[in-house]
């Protein structure tokens, strides 16, 4: 079962995505809340993005997209 809260996905146990690795930290989902980058669509753990569940932005760009945008200007 999957719950979606404003671009944050929380997957409940038993979901096949439990061991899925998408975050740039290289660690699996493992039940931790994640957020999707609006630019590259990669999923990042909230803790890796330094975002609190109580303060999720409407638009999120991961650090790689933010860094590439800065270097292209």
- Domain residue limits, the chain: 2-71
- pTM check: above 0.85: no
Tokens (6 digits) for 63: 């650090």
Q: Are 48 and 23 in contact (CB under 8 A)?
A: yes
pLDDT by residue (tens digit) across 18-71?
Answer: 778 889 899 988 888 999 999 998 999 999 999 998 999 999 999 889 888 777
The number of residues making up the chain comes to: 73
Domain 2-71 belongs in CATH node 3.30.40.10: yes
CB atoms < 10 A from the CB of 58, how many?
7
Place of tokens 């409940």: 12
Strands (E) across the chain are located at 2-5, 8-11, 34-36, 43-45
């Amino acid at each position: 079962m999957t719950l979606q809260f404003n671009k944050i996905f929380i997957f409940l146990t038993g979901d096949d995505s439990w061991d899925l690795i998408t975050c740039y930290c290289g660690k699996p989902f493992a039940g931790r809340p994640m957020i999707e980058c609006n630019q590259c669509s990669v999923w990042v753990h909230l803790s890796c993005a330094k975002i609190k569940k109580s303060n999720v932005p409407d638009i999120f760009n991961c650090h790689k997209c933010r860094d590439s945008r800065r270097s292209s200007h």
